[in-house]
Amino acid sequence: MTSRFQVVPAAYLALVRDTGPAGPEVLLQLRRGTGYMDGRWAHGAAGHVELGESVLDAAAREAAEELGVVVGLGELQHVATGHRTVAAHEPSEERIDVFLSTTSWSGDPVVREVDKVAELRWWPLAALPDAVVPHERGALEELARRHTPGLAEGPARPTPALLTRGFRQRLTLVAAVGRNGVIGDGSTMPWHLPADLRFFKDTTMGGTMLMGRGTWDSIGRALPGRRTIVLTRREHWQPEGADVARSVPEALALAGDGEVFVVGGGQVYALTIEHASRLVVTEVDLEPEGPTRFPRIDPGRWHVVDRVPGEEPVRAWVTYERIAGRV
């Protein structure tokens, strides 16, 4: 048994045509019904590389299965290779993505997987849509740089391009917790603490916040100066000013590199604490009633690195760091 981790390889294929009225165009699909990145634009064909299959063979197979077109392996051009992860370090989230393109194929592209694709559309490479799957955007921008006059004259990049994402992501849980571990009644906060609200703003400002739909509903709006990602199972629900994810890995994939602040509720804390590297806890000297509790902080895994006394009922603001090697 080896301790080395394994990665999941995938092949992505971009069909490019030069006949668009606004210059070269790329065929993208609008995802739906997959439970991952639905409502975002993605490469026209993509999928996992199967056992014994090369990335070239995988791209050609996916083109036939998803678009009904035939591409020759000799016509495929390498665009970029991506290596990505998220702070939830699970084997399924360690990925190697190989991005390919072609300007030659046989047949007219059509949607073959109607339950997974809402629309196929040709997009100008110089004007890609805003809602693109994040880890695919870099490869499409590299493709645009190669095909669009002017963009190709920009700063030199390695060829082939190597893209990384998620390796500088850090997960921090932020919560106000009563003496009995209660953080709320499932819909509202059990207290109003102006000093802690100021502390929360200062802590999260400029970062990305991850929250459940109940927490979003209790806040009622997107907070300024921060990006918000809401975790929910509700389909077709899109709050103004926030992104939506159906799972923690999807939310973290949307967040990208940098610090991600998990701010509630109880289920989201429970799903993420094992992947967090820091906890920022407001110790509240109250014992409110309520079913929603913060997960137990195991002293064998966490140690206090900072403790700032507060004014009652805030006992202190406490920062924990994960003990190295303890997961």
Of 104, 139, 165, which residue is a domain's last? 165
Quick check: is 37 in a domain?
yes
Q: Do residues 154 and 226 both lie within one domain?
A: no
What is the distance between the alpha carbons of residues 187 and 174, in angstroms, rounded to a whole number?
17
pLDDT at 1: 37
Kindly state whether residues 17 and 154 are assigned to the same domain: yes
Residues 12 and 160 in one domain: yes
CATH of the domain at 218: 3.40.430.10
All residues at 6 or more sequence positions from 130 whose CB lies less than 8 Å from its CB, including other chains: none
Beta strands at 292-293 and 182-184: parallel, antiparallel or unpaired: antiparallel
214 and 283 assigned to the same domain: yes
For residue 274, give the 3-state DSSP assignment.
Answer: helix
Q: Are strands 243-245 and 227-231 parallel, antiparallel or unpaired?
A: parallel
Q: What's the whole-number mean pLDDT along residues 201-219?
A: 96
Share of the chain above pLDDT 90, in %: 83
pLDDT tens-digit map of 72-131: 999 999 999 999 999 997 888 899 999 999 999 999 999 999 999 999 999 999 999 999
Lowest mean pLDDT among 186-195, 265-274, 275-284: 186-195
DSSP string, 95-144: EEEEEEEES--BS----S-TTTEEEEEEEETTS--S-B-HHHHHHHHHHH
Tell me: do 134 and 21 sit in the same domain: yes
Question: What domain range includes position 271?
Answer: 169-322
Which pLDDT belongs to residue 148? 74
Is residue 54 included in any domain, yes or no?
A: yes
Confidence of residue 21 (pLDDT cuts 50, 70, 90): confident
Q: Given a cut of 80, is residue 311 above it in pLDDT?
A: yes
Q: Average pLDDT over the chain, rounded to whole?
A: 92
In a domain, 2, yes or no: no
Q: Where are the alpha helices (DSSP H) in 130-286?
A: 134-147, 194-204, 213-219, 248-255, 266-272
- Asked if the model's pLDDT at residue 287 lies above 50, the reply is yes
105 and 185 both lie in a single domain: no
Give whole-number Cα distances, 235 to 39, 129, 218, 238, 250, in Å: 10, 22, 20, 9, 15
Mean pLDDT on 162-177 = 95
Residues 153, 273: one domain?
no
Shared-domain flag, residues 173 and 156: no
- Give the total number of structural domains in the chain: 2
What pLDDT score does 149 carry?
64
In terms of Cα–Cα distance, which of 151, 112, 154, 147 is closest to 20? 147
| 202, 310: one domain | yes
Q: What is the pLDDT of residues 188-203, one digit of tens each?
A: 788 999 999 999 999 9
pTM of the model: 0.87
Q: Which residues pair with 12 in a beta bridge?
A: 46, 99
Which residue, among 207, 210, 41, has the nearest Cα to 139 in the 3D structure? 41
pLDDT at residue 245 tops 80: yes
Task: Report the largest interatomic distance among the alpha carbons of the chain, rounded to a whole angstrom.
Answer: 72
Q: Looking at the domain assignment, is residue 1 inside a domain?
A: no
> Does residue 42 sit in the same domain as residue 126?
yes
Pairing outcome for strands 208-212 and 302-309: unpaired
* Same domain, yes or no: 30 and 83: yes
